[in-house]
Amino acid sequence: MRIDELLAAGTTRSFEFFPPKSDEESTVLEASLHELEQLQPSFVSVTYRGGRESRQRTFDLVTRIEQGGRITAMAHLICVGHTRSEIRDILKNYSDAGVSNVMALGGDIPDDPLLVSSEFAHALDLVELAREVGEFSIGVAAHPAGHPRSSDLVSDRRFLAEKLRNADFAVTQFFFEVHAWTRLVGELGELGVTKPVVPGIIPVTTIGGIGRMAAMGGSVPPNLVERLEAAERRGGPQAVRDEGVAAAIELCGQLLDAGAPGIHFYTMNRSTATREIHHALFA
């Protein structure tokens, strides 16, 4: 199904995976897919970092999930390092394979200098090309704290609003306080954009994860850091994990109460914490 139609029908529950790079990662992913499939998600998405090998891994995983007939799949697509003809071919291949949902992203600048050049300036260009190529349901990324390369929040919101006017929905970078989402949606509404913005959620389940989240673009707020550190003093790593899952459950509940159109779980290709949060919210 098209994701815009799923969002119009009611609250969605979705999971994000990345393509495995080794046999060990494949084993972990297969187990997670099997376990999470039992939860009957609205859709799943598969990331792509750029380069021919990564692109093929994403294509293979997305088409396998979609053609399995049990779960709707969305393919991530980035414009950095691509020509327009290349992207046209990729989109046509997805369309021919029966994949109708894509996430249009600008993408991180790759380490390989040969991949830096691009015929696209922004993700908006990719959205517009996808509209030309086929009948896709198109998602875009939204950053509650602003895109890392934005000069200020005002211009960030303006660019996001323009992008979302041309797309069907957005999925946010992960965050940890409900007001980050409500502020984002409110500011887009002031710009006349009311399309669905699905909050992206990931639990912090280790003390080391606090630093990793910041490096990935989502700083953990001081009050949550204090909760996790208190849990560690109280009961060690297991207590930290339990507290992180509990905090994520609280946040998701607040988001749903605030009118979020769904919850998008960043799984890191593992299912246990995601299943616990999902069970608390939707069982």
Q: Could you tell me the residue ranges of all domains in the chain? A: 3-282
Position 138 scores a pLDDT of 98
Position 250 scores a pLDDT of 98
Q: 132 catalytic, yes or no? A: no
Beta-strand (E) ranges in 3-100?
12-17, 43-46, 73-78
* pLDDT tens digits, 57-76: 899 999 999 999 889 999 99
Position 248 scores a pLDDT of 98
Looking up tokens 């090998």, which residue turns up?
Answer: 53
Position 112 scores a pLDDT of 53
Out of 16, 66, 187, 243, the active site residue is 16
Nearest to 64 by CA among 44, 79, 49, 83: 44
The CATH class for the domain spanning 3-282 reads alpha beta
Position 14 scores a pLDDT of 97
As a whole number of angstroms, the distance between CA 218 and CA 173 comes to 7
Residues (pLDDT < 50) of the chain are: 113
Position 59 scores a pLDDT of 93
What burial letters (b/e) apply to 77-115, b meaning 16+ CB within 10 Å?
bbbbbbeeeebbebbeebbeeebbbbbbbbbeebeeeeb
Strands 12-17 and 262-266: parallel
Position 176 scores a pLDDT of 97
Position 108 scores a pLDDT of 63
> What would you measure as the largest C-alpha separation in the chain, in angstroms?
57
Position 37 scores a pLDDT of 92
Position 49 scores a pLDDT of 66
Helix axes 222-257, 178-190, angle to 10 degrees: 60
Nearest to 138 by CA among 151, 147, 125, 150: 125
Burial class of 280 by CB neighbour count within 10 A (0 to 12, 13 to 18, 19+): middle
**Helix-strand-coil split of the chain, %, nearest 5:** 50, 15, 35
As a whole number of angstroms, the distance between CA 217 and CA 212 comes to 9
64, two tokens = 């396998």
